[in-house]
Chains A and B, each alone.
Chain A
């Protein structure tokens, strides 16, 4: 079970990404972070903390649940239902530069759903995307603006991101799965 990123590496990646965000947006004016549930949320919070350190400014932070926007829900119910959780975006997203934050970018469908959800909340000026890991195999024309690590993977593998806030440890792990997806 190879660990491809350890705690140190995760931390350094997030610090680098925070600096990239500041550089590309020439500061944090009108910026807001929106973490995609579940693990995008703690990552977004950490980025907000780092941005505060760097710039001295509080960047607004929200959580987005995209379950109700997934395109695979249209099939008939077979397995357990994805649990719907609350979306909490306690600020207006109109005219803002929204930075979407997620842990793994894979087919791109989660981000597509997140874009649909965001548009229902208002009209941001721009939307940018932060991911901790990009594992390839895109099925839609979606790209990340900020990437912690590019990780070429086989379809038969799964990438697990574990975070201190949820899993008690920071690490990114690749596992080979027998006979299909986990």
Chain B
């Protein structure tokens, strides 16, 4: 698993499913160099100067969008933020038409977040620009998976052989899907925990250990990852109340103590304090939640560079 590729195949990043372990390592290694840029007085490099990157977001998002925007600006790209309310899509333009109209300004990359699984695949097939998936429906959120892995690797030195517990709404979480694909590719032992109503089928087939007992998942874990419970899920009748969810599955200090003493606690954000995670845990010493945000910029810079910053093999010295 220590093999590293020299480039990414393809012009898009649509999901962890399409990445080999060697490519994942390339992204993570490049992200380390990118993280150093953030520590400079001038937090900018000219790598994507003159290239246009469009952030095309069909779902509202402050966190992911600003992270991408900072990453793009630090690489000196020209950024364009387009937020499209889903209702205007319903009224008129198709997804393909919207994207192809934007191609008129010849973007190098379009960073796309959309409510339908597979939307980015459709755009990748029909657009010349490279497509970076910033979250499609309940399918994948690959840059989140990558920054989570980066954070674990930064704190633990490696991914292989670690026990990692992921707890929450597994069925609807694109972060979950990206993470289990990535962590199993890099050789971690992944435990997935949630209520049976929110457990997707076939997890064992992916090499993941499913359980409905959070204690079993967390025991001896090196990292615990909490997923957001979307409040709308309660209307779907998946579990009776937030109070009950917290009692059965919430990450409390007692449950954190079941993990290894130096275990880290993660959350992709935004958090529902008192639902999936107790405040003392979110703010406690084991929490690396803010590091995840910092690392998100570095990882996204790495992805953008590897997709759009290409060059000849050997430059004249």
Contact = CB atoms under 8 A, between A and B. Distances in A.
Interface in B15-43: 26, 29-30, 32-34, 36-37, 40-42
A105 B317 CA distance: 6
Nearest to A117: B45
B34 A122 contact: no
A73 interface: yes
Interface in B275-311: 302, 305-311
Interface stretch (A20-28, A47-55, A106-114, A164-172): A106-114
A68 interface: yes
Nearest to A81: B7
28 contacts: A68-B37, A68-B46, A68-B309, A69-B47, A72-B312, A72-B315, A74-B51, A74-B311, A76-B310, A77-B307, A78-B310, A78-B312, A78-B313, A79-B311, A79-B312, A80-B313, A81-B309, A81-B310, A82-B311, A83-B29, A86-B36, A107-B317, A109-B315, A110-B317, A120-B40, A120-B41, A120-B44, A181-B316
Contacts of A122: 41
Interface in A47-102: 65, 67-70, 72-88, 102
Q: Is the interface of B mostly helix, strand, loop or mixed?
A: loop
B50 interface: yes
A106 B42 contact: no
Interface of B: 6-8, 26, 29-30, 32-34, 36-37, 40-42, 44-47, 49-51, 75, 302, 305-317
Nearest to A110: B317
Interface residues of A, number: 37
B317 A120 contact: no
A121 B132 CA distance: 31
A1 interface: no
Given A77-B7, A86-B32, A121-B41, A110 B315 contact: yes
Contacts of B50: 74
B310 A77 contact: yes
Contacts of A104: 317
Contact of A106 (B37, B312, B316): B316
Nearest to A89: B40
A134 to B, nearest CB: 11
Contacts of B37: 68
A139 interface: yes
A116 interface: yes
